[in-house]
Chains A and B, each alone.
Chain A
Amino acid sequence: MVSTARITRQEAEDFLYEEARLLDERDFFPWLDLFTEDAIYWIPIEEHSDPTRATSILWDDAQLRALRVHQLAHERNFAQSPPSRTVHSVTNVQVSPGDADNEAKVRCNLVVYEVRSGDHRQLGLGDLRALPAKCLYVLRYEERWRIAHKKVVLINRHMPLINLSFLI
């Protein structure tokens, strides 16, 4: 088990690039399957806070991830009509041993570029936004590598953000 849990940087990069591709291609149901059943996906405001006691930008368990993806597929989701186009750009990948035998930690930098097109002259549309962040993943080997924890620390996390109705 120990040996299978080692992940190389290249394997980690391949994993993260695949996640980025699924998000950018709006292939959300396979994205859900990247996570373990008990995984938490967290975008904190205070980086080292306890999300059960402090405000988070996003704090999703499996059910809430599934809810979001279902809402994204809904034809009358107005915050996503027209939908966001995104580019998830992953860099600075580093791997380290996890806390459990079958886990690994992966750190990376992420910049998500987002724009909603449609009639771009209208307010709320046509503005290209960038969300730079550092990410901390705990990957767990369960027949394949899965996300057991995903934490995205945005650099502008304390500031008013506009329409985060897409997936980061």
Chain B
Amino acid sequence: MATQQATTQRGYAELVEITDKTFRVSSRVYREQEVFEREIAEIFEKTWVYVGHDSEIAQPGDYKTAQIGRYPIILTRDKDGAVYALLNVCRHRANAICRENYGNSQNFRCPYHAWTYRNSGELIGVPDGGRYPEGFSTRGLSLIRVAKVDSYRGLIFASLSADVPELDEHLSPVKEHVDLWADRSIGGEHKVLHPHRYAYLGNWKFQCENGVDGYHPGIVHESAFSTFGEFGIGNFAARDLVKRGSISRGFPGGHSTLEGGARDGRGVGRGLPHRAEEYQARLREVYGDDRAQEIVSNRHTFIFPNVFLFDELVRIIQPIALEYTEVYSHPFWLHGVPDDFNTRRLYEGTRQLSTTGMVNPSDLEMFAANQTGLHARMEWLVLDRGMQREEVAPNGERMGNYSDEVPQRSLYRHWAQVMARTEAGR
């Protein structure tokens, strides 16, 4: 009967079982409503999550709506250029005040009773305010600000809890890889475009695991890769990547990377070779040969818990329900390159990883199949791959072969810590 005990009684830390040679994750992490509720509360609503990119709210007055855990928010830029993350909730009777996804406005007017707020949050209008009792004040009734908002290289993160390390510290284990990604724009920042939006019938963590899973591509994406091969497009043979010294990394904090490591510029602009050459020459000029090569190498960087930096896209993971997840995948424009190069990148990203991509939908099919299998309540999932040869650096960074489950283990090491964090105090 022990296995039938409720998760709370067993403790969240026990959902990940680690020995010298085994790393097992309980199927409960994907299939129990109680676990999902706690993930939303402890991970999404208490730690740093990615909410948007500077370029989405580039101009004064620009805004974007988003969701942190289950909290609807508005990300705004005021007339002085400052960025705010505000709860999209009227202080009167808790209506959502902004119903659009993107726009530009100095003010937000609640549609219910027209309480009106500045885009920095202050309440500036209450219709027929004289009906309120003496002493009623609009001060103290500003839109609630998300406790922490900060950005790094254009990536905006927010935390509903003030009790978090600075963003710098949160990102520090993986910062080198964020820099390599951001340095692809020379003399400016990336500009993200409207996202591809899709959904799948499965738990949110499948997408987190899969984007840095080097074991599956040659199998799940065989139909795409062999078709590309038939048409002579690119060097997509996933099994080759392993031979060429490609690697996976896991970092403290749950972050990870999957790196093609092929020093051939495969990460950027494959389909327009003359532009790719120009671009790489320019990178070498600015950064030197070695760093330029690193910058254009194929690289997937996962920042716990909800964002991937890909070669052509920024991918955001939004848990909606235990078995339903939305994904918003923003193509981005490199700064300082010819338009046709960016257009080609857009085309290739859409071909591969959009809602209709030749690669992406097969991953989503695996997630639905995975969630289906979990209904059988088989207790432990096996994430041992490559444990025996994982290299651990003094700072806790772990490195393995491309197809090893190093990133997934790093995800669950951190996951277990966060999920168990406040248990003792309860």
Is B truly associated with A? yes
Partner of B227, one of A57, A74, A122, A162: A74
- Chain B residues in 8 Å Cβ range of A63: 231
B348 CB to nearest chain A CB (Å): 10
Q: Count contacts on A: residues with CB < 8 A to the other chain.
A: 37
- CB pair A55–B346 under 8 Å, yes or no, is yes
Q: How far is the CB of A2 from chain B (nearest CB, A)?
A: 35
Q: Which of B228, B326, B364 contacts A67 (CB 8 A)?
A: B228
Name 25 interchain pairs, CB-CB below 8 A, sorted by A: A52-B343, A55-B195, A55-B196, A55-B354, A57-B356, A66-B231, A67-B233, A67-B358, A70-B230, A71-B224, A71-B227, A76-B223, A78-B362, A79-B361, A79-B362, A79-B365, A122-B369, A123-B372, A124-B364, A124-B369, A158-B197, A160-B326, A160-B328, A162-B199, A162-B364
Q: Does chain A have a CB within 8 A of B226? A: yes
Q: CB of B194 within 8 A of chain A?
A: yes
Contact at B343–A53, with CB atoms within 8 Å?
yes
The residue in A66, A163, A164 that gathers the most chain B C-beta atoms within 10 A of its C-beta is A163
Q: Is the CB of B346 within 8 A of A52?
A: yes
Report which of A46, A57, A68, A122 forms a contact with B355, defined as CB distance below 8 A: A57
B351 within 8 A of A: yes
A122-B366 Cα distance, complex, nearest whole Å: 12
**CA A33 – CA B139 in complex, angstroms?**
67
Q: Is A77 an interface residue (CB 8 A)?
A: yes
Q: How long is the Cα–Cα vector from A100 to B227 in the complex, in angstroms? A: 36
Known: A57-B355, A124-B201. A163 touches B361 (CB 8 A): yes
Q: Report chain B residues within 8 Å CB of A52.
A: 339, 343, 346
Whole-angstrom CA separation of A73 from B101 in the bound complex? 38
Closest to A59 in B: B350
Which residues in A have their C-beta under 8 angstroms from that of B361?
79, 163-165
CB distance A53 to B339 under 8 Å? Answer: yes
| Residues of B close to A56: CB separation below 8 A | 350, 354
CB of A151 to closest CB in B, whole Å: 14
Tell me whether A139 is interfacial, beta carbon within 8 Å: no
Q: Is B215 an interface residue (CB 8 A)?
A: no
Q: How far is the CB of B51 from chain A (nearest CB, A)?
A: 17
Q: What CA separation (Å) do A121 and B112 show in the bound complex?
A: 42
- What is the chain B residue whose CB lies nearest that of A61? B347
Could you say which residues of chain A place their CB within 8 Å of the CB of B78?
none
Inter-chain contacts of A71 with B (CB < 8 A): 223-224, 227, 358
A56-B350, A162-B200, A164-B356 as given contacts; A67 in contact with B194, CB under 8 Å: no
List of B residues within 8 angstroms of A76 by Cβ:
222-223
Is A159 among interface residues, defined by CB-CB distance under 8 A? yes
- A163-B365 in contact given A53-B343, A58-B354 (Cβ < 8 Å): yes
